[in-house]
Amino acid sequence: MKKTERLMALDAFRGLTIAAMITVNTPGSWEYVYAPLLHSEWNGCTPTDLVFPFFLFAVGVAMWFAFGKFNHQLSPAAGKKILKRTVLIFIIGLFLNAFPFVHLKLENLRIMGVLQRIALAYGIGSLLCLSLSKVRLMYVSSAILLAYWALVFFLGGNHPYSLEGNPTQAFDNMILGTSHMYQGFGIPFDPEGLFSTLPAIVTVILGYLSGYLIASTERKKLVMKLLLFGFLGVVVGQIWNLGFPINKPIWSSSYVVYTAGLALWVLAFMIYLIDILAYKKWAHPFLVFGMNPLFIYVLSGVWVRVMIYLIHFSDQAGNSINGYTWLYKNGFASWAGDLNGSLFFALAHILVYWLIVLVLYRRKIFIKI
């Protein structure tokens, strides 16, 4: 299989996850969202809970092909590139947390976030992948997941897997401070915190090892191998779920294995259709997204914050209403109803973003760090 052929499925897979990520992050109203487009309240796994680990997994797969120019060995040049990307992605994440700066208070600025987790998982995962053999990577990944399970269980309270009892909260409180953490759970708790980034590193490593599998396996055997390893991940994840619940907010070890298994299934399906059967037209919209993933994610975050914080209108009662809510109510809910209007609001944004990146794609402009 040629490199370009392999990467087409990968880019489509990555584009699919970006489109899904923006869809679930941009409903017209959080009060009106279809259940599959919501995260699990705590334990469990909805389709929405698959989006972030799928993207991290795709980061790992892409790493295998990107590090080919370094012969998969850690070198000064490789280390410099890894450090640069890690720092820049982390800073961009901080920028999004602070934007648009109108009510910025450094003492309350959230430090972690989606891009920050991507940066750390990529940076640490890259160093491990280029420093260790593939066999040792598997041992280290297993050790990380088992150690994380033990730490959560023994350092937690009477209910170590609960919101209040899990030790990730106490660790992040100590390092980050409560005022710099996510407040959406009712208490200071960061679902993209430092402690729970440890198992997220394994998600990236599993993607990297999958990249090796894709690169080293004959086309006829590849899909079956991906499906078999995916089945193994799903089964092990479900068995592990009995002792360490599948849980996105604390990124439980069972969640890592389970979502990696599902990612392999989806990737196998896309490789089969795109690269083997050459059914490529259906994947083109996702491919367009996948070629500029960081750009479109940042653009979507900036636009949402502009609408919420910088654009305001007056409703019929004379009350101030932000641009985000105004657009949802007047542009979508007014004719589609609250629930469908909320969904169409998100899909309309996806369409607009896609048209923007389509222009970049046709001009062969790919914004990378």
| Residues ≥6 apart with Cβ < 8 Å to 318 | none
Q: What is the pLDDT of residue 7?
A: 65
Same domain, 243 and 364: no
What is the pTM assigned to this prediction?
0.94
Domain contains 224: yes
43 in a structural domain: no
Q: Which of 279, 304, 321 is the last residue of a domain?
A: 279
Structural domain tally of the chain?
2
Average pLDDT over residues 171-199: 93
Is 60 exceeded by the pLDDT of residue 6?
no
Co-location of 26 and 81 in the same domain = no
Asked whether residue 212 is domain-assigned, the answer is yes
Q: Assess whether 257 and 304 both reside in one domain.
A: no
CB atoms within 10 A of CB 107: 7
Please calculate the CA angle 57-181-54 and round it to the nearest 5 degrees: 10
For residues 128 and 267, state if they share a domain: yes
Give me the domain span that covers residue 338.
1-38+280-369
- Would you list the DSSP string of 159-205? STTSTTT-HHHHHHHHHH-GGGS--TTSSS--TT-STTHHHHHHHHH
Tell me: do 307 and 210 sit in the same domain.
no
Residue 43, strand partner residues: 247
For residue range 110-142, list pLDDT tens digits in order: 999 999 999 999 999 999 999 999 999 999 999
Residue 348 inside a domain? The answer is: yes
- Per-residue pLDDT of 263-289, as tens digits, reads 999 999 999 999 889 899 999 999 999
262 & 312 share domain = no
In a domain, 44, yes or no: no
6, part of any domain: yes
* Domain termination residue (choose one: 221, 245, 279): 279
Q: Do residues 232 and 138 both lie within one domain?
A: yes
- Co-location of 287 and 324 in the same domain: yes
pLDDT at 102: 79
- Do 241 and 332 lie in a common domain? no
Q: What is the pLDDT of residues 292-336, one digit of tens each?
A: 999 999 999 999 999 999 999 877 777 889 999 999 999 999 999
Assigned domain for 222 exists: yes
C-alpha distance from residue 79 to each of 67, 72, 86, 200 (Å): 11, 12, 10, 20
Q: Is the same domain home to 225 and 307? A: no
Confidence of residue 43 (pLDDT cuts 50, 70, 90): very high
**Residue among 204, 222, 224 nearest 214 (CA):** 222
Does 232 lie in the same domain as 126?
Answer: yes
Q: Is 47 contained in some domain?
A: no
Do residues 264 and 285 both lie within one domain? no
Radius of gyration of the chain, Cα coordinates, nearest whole angstrom: 21
Please name every residue paired with 321 in a beta bridge, in sequence order, or none if there are none.
Answer: 313
Which of 263, 279, 295 is the C-terminal boundary of a domain? Answer: 279
Cα 184 to Cα 194: distance, rounded to the nearest angstrom = 17
